[in-house]
Chains A and B, each alone.
Chain A
Amino acid sequence: MSTWDRFVDTFFNARVMAKYLPDILSGVVVTIELAVLIVASGLLAGLALALVRALAIRPLNWLIIFIVDLFRSLPPLVIIVLIYFGLPAAGLSPSGFVSTWIALGLVLMAFAEEIFWAGITSIPRGQWEAARSTGLGFGQTLLNVVLPQALRLTIPPLTNRTIAITKGTALGTVVAVTEILGQASSAVSNSYNPSPLMMGSAAYVVLFLPVVVAARWIETKFAWKR
């Protein structure tokens, strides 16, 4: 057998790949479920925090800033491990899936709040004053005048951050979530062959590369006005 054949037989073994393809595919489904949950809950919670912060209630804002700082400083893997191994001691036993969801959701919430808040504060005061002088209330001004302009500015930084955090679903494998990397790793140890890992890697590229390319396009389309 030539070196090339041996390489292909080791890393792209057709028999092993066929055997573990269903496992990898079920991992893809779990990764997508996890990613959708994280993105939806993280962005919503971040937006909610930014809107509360706009009310400018001092003690509440300090709390929000602290929470945001906390989840920006802690490594996501540490938060996942903390929830998964720590909460059972408090009588709660979230699954690996739920732990990863909560942890990455909180991280995305923190970053999203910062970005949404930056967007809101970047809208000139005059916009607020003009809107209020036409008779709109505080809430109406925020929702109908400020937010639509602010959101446009937040889209490029938000997409980048969201992709970076969503890729973190792979961290779930540390707390036994059966997503792509988890499935691939156990298939490697069962088959003693790295082909499932190559399949898993390909699955990540297929899932995330279109998102990254789309983000690049969005970035140029919604770029910050200079």
Chain B
Amino acid sequence: MIETFLNPEIIAAIWPIVLAGLANTVLLSLIVVPLGLLGGLIVALLATVHHPLVRWPLMAWVDFFRAFPPLVLLVLLFAGLPFAGLELGGFACVAIAFFLNTGAYYGEILRAGIDSVPVGQIEAARSTGLNRLQAMGYIVLPQAVRNVLPDLLSNTLEVVKLTSLGSVVAVPELLFQARQAQSLTYSPTPIVLVAIVYFLILWPMVRLLSRLENRALASRR
């Protein structure tokens, strides 16, 4: 069993490949999480404009990306755009797809956070002489982020897990490297190893989330 699924010799041989994949997964996450947050912030700030000409297109935009599978979006960019003469490469496609997809999710979360801050806070801030942008940046957003922190973290976990889609468009992240190693060694060991790496990295985050969610629940009671 160990011989097949966690062969020590194979692990020793492929360790450098897996490590390179890990570095790329970390790098990819460090790029796509801030990009998604930026997209989300834009969505959430636009949502504070209550004009119907902003509201409806924005809602359609968010719902579209909630309905559209991220892998399909990624393949559409990677395999579709070259037909329009635009060849972006796997890494750029992942970045754009994540900006659009996770931006919609982060946007929904941040919007709920902003909604959770009482209007009185904004009125008080404005009455002290802060302009709208200052009130949003210094008063509303910090409280909004605090209120939805568990959801933000949970979405960030999903985004990090989603970077494994990069393997489909040849971005050499963990899963891609594992599949390369698997086809070289004809053994499931690389994939088992990479699953363990993912688990060890993300487990603490899942535990933390579980605890935050329970605390949120307890305070609601």
Tell me the A residues contacting B by CB distance below 8 Å: 7, 10-11, 69-70, 72-79, 81-82, 85-86, 89-90, 114, 118, 121-122, 124, 163-164, 167-171, 173-174, 180-181, 185, 188, 193-194, 197-198, 200-201, 204-205, 208-209, 211-213, 216, 224, 226
B63 surroundings in chain A (CB, below 8 A): 209, 212-213, 216
Q: Are B221 and A122 in contact (CB under 8 A)?
A: yes
22 residue pairs of the A-B complex, CB under 8 angstroms, read A11-B83, A69-B207, A73-B203, A74-B202, A75-B162, A75-B163, A76-B161, A77-B167, A77-B175, A82-B191, A164-B158, A171-B165, A173-B71, A181-B75, A185-B79, A193-B83, A194-B79, A194-B80, A197-B80, A204-B67, A209-B63, A213-B63
A82-B195, A86-B192, A122-B217 as given contacts; A77 in contact with B165, CB under 8 Å? yes
B residues 77-94 near A (Cβ < 8 Å) are 79-80, 83-84
A204 in complex: contacting residue of B68, B79, B167, CB < 8 Å: B68
Instruction: Report which of B69, B157, B175, B188 forms a contact with A167, defined as CB distance below 8 A.
Output: B69
17 additional contacts (CB under 8 A) given A7-B84, A75-B175, A85-B188: A11-B83, A69-B206, A74-B161, A74-B195, A75-B161, A75-B198, A78-B195, A82-B195, A121-B214, A121-B217, A174-B168, A197-B75, A201-B76, A205-B64, A205-B68, A208-B69, A211-B67
**A185–B69 CA distance with the chains assembled, in angstroms:** 15
Residues of B contacting A89 in the complex (Cβ-Cβ under 8 angstroms): 4-5, 187-188
* A118, B213: Cα distance in complex, Å: 8
The CA-CA distance from A194 to B83 in the complex, in Å, is 7
Chain A residues, Cβ within 8 Å of B167: 77
Q: Which residues of B contact A204 (CB under 8 A)?
A: 67-69, 72
8 Å CB contact of B199 from A10, A70, A208 = A70
Report the minimal beta-carbon distance from B58 to chain A, rounded to whole angstroms. Answer: 13
Contact across chains for B80 and A198 when beta carbons are under 8 A apart: yes
- Chain A residue nearest in CB terms to B3: A89
Min C-beta distance of B211 to chain A, whole Å: 12
- Chain A residues, Cβ within 8 Å of B206: 69, 72-73
The number of residues on chain B lying at the interface, defined by a beta carbon within 8 Å of a beta carbon of chain A, is 50
Is A75 in contact with B164, judged by CB distance below 8 angstroms?
Answer: yes
Interface membership of B66, Cβ < 8 A: yes
- Give min CB distance, A105 to chain B, whole Å: 17
Contacts of A198 in B (CB 8 A): 80
Taking each of A73, A79, A188, A198, which has the highest tally of chain B beta carbons within 10 Å of its own beta carbon? Answer: A73
Question: Would A81 and B162 be within 8 Å (CB), given that A181-B75, A204-B69, A216-B63 are in contact?
Answer: no
Q: Which of A69, A75, A86 has most chain B Cβ within 10 Å?
A: A75
Type the 1/0 row for B142-166, where 1 means its CB is closer than 8 Å to any CB of A. Answer: 0000000000000001100111110
| Contact assessment for B79 and A197 in the assembled complex, using a CB-CB cutoff below 8 Å | yes
Per-residue CB proximity of B174-189 to A under 8 Å, as 1/0?
A: 0100110010000110
The 0/1 profile, CB within 8 Å of A marked 1, for residues 195-220 of chain B is: 10011001101110010011001001
Residue B194 is within 8 A (CB to CB) of chain A in the complex:
yes
Mask of B55-75 contacts with A, CB within 8 angstroms, 1/0? 000000001101111111001
CA of A118 to CA of B162 in the docked complex: distance in angstroms?
Answer: 25
A173 to B168, CA, bound (A): 10
